[in-house]
Amino acid sequence: MASRSLPKNASLVHGFLRRQDGPVSAYQVLDGLRDAGINAPPTVYRALDQLVARGLAHRVESLNAFVACSHPEHDEESGFAICTDCGSVTEFSGAAVLKALDDIARRQDFALDRTTIELSGQCSSCRFSGTGDDARST
């Protein structure tokens, strides 16, 4: 869905998220959009809620931050690979992973409401740059 079909504030927030190199907090969004007329946290949170509901943004739970969806055309939930060194967040989706989690929940007789998949580790750039843990241990 294009930003232009969004309400004004959601469109501004979506544009801001898309310009970022990584995840940002709601307060970083607020600080970044003050000159555009967004001056209150509830305004940012409402816009973020609209974007998440439309699949145009995701909340990265472990970072308490938000990212623009990198491929909004997918139907399944997304997961995130979060680099503990540089802070980069890469979105992925995979029906096989979600099916496996759903199967586990069913075997446990557990009614699954929501799934959050966040992998924490090192991205390939940090792992092979000589600054990560793997490089230090060699």
pTM beyond 0.85: the answer is no
Domains in the chain: ranges and CATH: 1-72 (1.10.10.10), 74-138 (3.30.1490.190)
For residue 107, give the H/E element and its range: helix 95-107
Amino acid at position 28, single letter: Q
Rg (the chain; Cα; Å): 17
C-alpha to C-alpha distance for 59 and 45, rounded to whole angstroms: 11
Structure tokens at 133: 């843990």
Tens of each residue's pLDDT in the chain, 138 residues: 444 589 999 999 999 999 999 999 999 999 999 999 999 999 999 999 999 999 899 999 999 999 999 877 766 678 899 999 999 999 988 788 888 888 999 999 999 888 889 999 999 999 998 655 544 444
Task: Give one DSSP letter per residue of 20-65, joined into a string.
Answer: -SS-B-HHHHHHHHGGGT---HHHHHHHHHHHHHTTSEEEEGGGTE
